[in-house]
Amino acid sequence: MTSTIEVYNTDAFRWRFPAPSFSARAREEELDPADYDFDTDLPWYTLGYLDAHYGEGKRQAETALTRCAKVPVLLARVAHVLAAEGDFTGRLRFHIDRIRAGRPIVAHTGPGRTSLVQAEEAAGFLAWAALAEATGAVNVASPDTADVYDVCAAVESATGLAADVIEKEDPSGDPDLSPFSCPSDFGMASDRAAALGYGFTPIAQWLPMVARNAVADRPGSDYSEEQ
């Protein structure tokens, strides 16, 4: 099952009050699906509910599969995915377009660091996992972490332009808030994947290349033109 780093987000837990506390780089054993619960009567088919309870939906899906599946289950908890082509989340494009247009990028005060993974390596892990004997939760992430300034630096290098990053104490709801800005550290440890035999490339080695390719893939993009 393709799960997500959002299972470690403490903002919206349904079955734990208060929500459990996780390490700055959460480990798989800190959230055991066998010790959680799931509720099929919740309005999972309602789009508004799904959007607001994405992490909870993944937690409950992990639990349902762990308890009920008749086959071995591996839960791939995938970090924030970045890709030069097919940037389906739009997160990298957000930074490219604003930097090109001279628009501000808002961040939390002293933004935390988070986990990223290159799209090709996330897909590679899923293909590897299909043939592996490993089961249970596995964090799918580069071994290092990054913050909004690291992402902006990669785009700055690719465009030759400077990013205008503005830190705010409470930027919630700000349309210019970077999707890679976290109020505190929010990452995952990738030690288990490495121990199982699948290693991920450090962010510092692939992010600049992804940014360059993404900029080249959007030669005429401009934030102001798209508004």
pLDDT tens digits, one per residue of 108-158:
999 999 999 999 999 999 999 999 999 999 999 999 999 999 999 999 999
pLDDT exceeds 60 at position 212: yes
The model's confidence at residue 220, banded by pLDDT at 50, 70 and 90, is low
pLDDT, tens digit, 9 for 90 and up, residues 3-61: 999 999 988 788 877 888 999 999 999 999 999 999 999 999 988 898 889 999 999 99
Residue 87: CA count within 13 A, CB half-sphere: 18
CA distances from 182 to 7, 26, 115, 163 (A): 15, 15, 11, 18
Q: What is the residue extent of each domain of the chain? A: 2-226
Homologous superfamily in CATH for domain 2-226: NAD(P)-binding Rossmann-like Domain (3.40.50.720)
- Write the DSSP string, 89-144: T-HHHHHHHHHHHT-EEEEESSPBPB-EEEHHHHHHHHHHHHHS---EEEEE--SS
Nearest to 59 by CA among 4, 109, 133: 4
Mapping DSSP onto H, E and C, the string for 82-94 reads ECCCCCCCCHHHH
Residue 89's pLDDT is 87
The pLDDT of residue 225 is above 60: no
pLDDT at residue 208 is higher than 50: yes
- Band of pLDDT at residue 224, cut at 50, 70 and 90: very low
- Global pTM reads 0.92
